[in-house]
Amino acid sequence: MAVLWLLLLGGLTTFFLGHFVWAVVKHFLTTEVPSSLKHPVKLRVMHCFVLFLMALGNTLEKLRICTLNKFVQFFGDIGVIKKDPIVLVTNMRFGSIPVRLFQPKAMSSQLQRDTYHNLCSFLVRETDSVLLSVGYGELPHYHHPVLFNDCLSATIQFLRGPETYGVDPSRVVLCGESVEAWAVATIVQVLLSSFSLPKIRAQILITPIIQAINFCLPSHQKSKNVPFLTREFMIFCVCKYLAIDVSWKDAMLTGAVIPLDKWKKYSKWISSDNIPRRFWSQDLQPEFLGCFNEAAYLETKHIFDVQISPVLADNKIIAQLPEVFLVTCENDILRDDGLLYKKRFEDQGVPVTWNHVEDGFHGCLVLFDWKFLSFPCSVKIVNTVVGYIKNI
């Protein structure tokens, strides 16, 4: 029996060590850490750990023990939830959609683990605001348009009676980071036609993704190997979320899915010409390298839907949007998505407050209170968001 236990222990040790070594090797062979990033060693260690978790998750998924998404999400949600004495947290449901309401001046008796929980509590405490966090359907069980529909439904239900939660209907702000910022961008556009609901006062878009068409922008080339959102991981997530077979990823990355007539129509909004020259690198490759592939286009043509690429909305829609607080990070592959949307706002006279973080990278926001794992750029973004909300 002792021999069996030793064999089992040895096998597990080899299993974990093998995955860890693979993660470290992959990191140093494929990852770039820009010189402008502070605490590069900390970032490398964290990225190696993320690659290690993804490798383990992939193996467990192949063994049909659990899915990669569930495995990574489990570790992502692990953290110390801080019980703030002046924030009341209530877990609720708007129909089938789980939401979490953060209100100042009280204390919650039922707290659950969640990646953004501490960030939400901090924003409520520092701005003396009410915050509603939406638990939308996530991968791998849910694909587009579930995230959009869940967030839209929860937003509409909240807007039907904001006074119930002590909220001034004229001061409602929608806020999101990354894919959640994409949800905000699309929802704000849709709500323009809802005349019976209060108007959104402002939208806060933090490192948003606002299109799934042009993957040859300067930032897509410059930061393609920068943690935590590499080009490889980004296109994998886009394909999974939009229910596109991953075999089409190369066609999407090279622009082979874009018909000439579509490019002529939309390039005025999504081409690299809209990115200021100071953001171009010397080795920037031209748009586009791939020849048009009709089969790939037919499988991916929903990327031209404004609910997926809100930057494609008509000028008359953009011109009606509420003012914007936009955060971009220099070392983020999605930097230029934000810059494209910024230009569209400015061209249509929509007030834009832009905060560009030179030492920032994608995903740094949620690390703001991770003590020794936090980064200066994380705190910087949170403080600027707080300042903007307090001045509204």
Q: Which residues carry out catalysis?
A: 178, 332, 362
Quick one: residue 363, left, alpha or beta (phi over 0 = left, psi -120 to 50 = alpha)? left
Q: Are 256 and 291 in contact (CB under 8 A)?
A: yes
Q: One-letter amino acid identity for 286? A: P
Q: Are 132 and 175 in contact (CB under 8 A)?
A: no
Q: One-letter amino acid identity for 47? A: H
What span, in angstroms and rounded, lies between the C-alpha atoms of 311 and 301? 16
Q: Are 210 and 340 in contact (CB under 8 A)?
A: yes
Helix (H, G, I), strand (E, B) or coil at 287: coil
**Cα atoms in the Cβ-side hemisphere of radius 13 Å centred on 47:** 27
Q: Are 198 and 169 in contact (CB under 8 A)?
A: yes
What span, in angstroms and rounded, lies between the C-alpha atoms of 27 and 49? 10
Query: What are the E-state strand segments in 95-207?
Result: 97-104, 131-134, 173-177, 202-206
Contacting residues for 329 by C-beta, under 8 A, at least 6 apart: 207, 335, 356, 357, 360, 361, 362, 364, 377
Quickly count: other Cβ atoms within 10 Å of residue 174's Cβ: 22
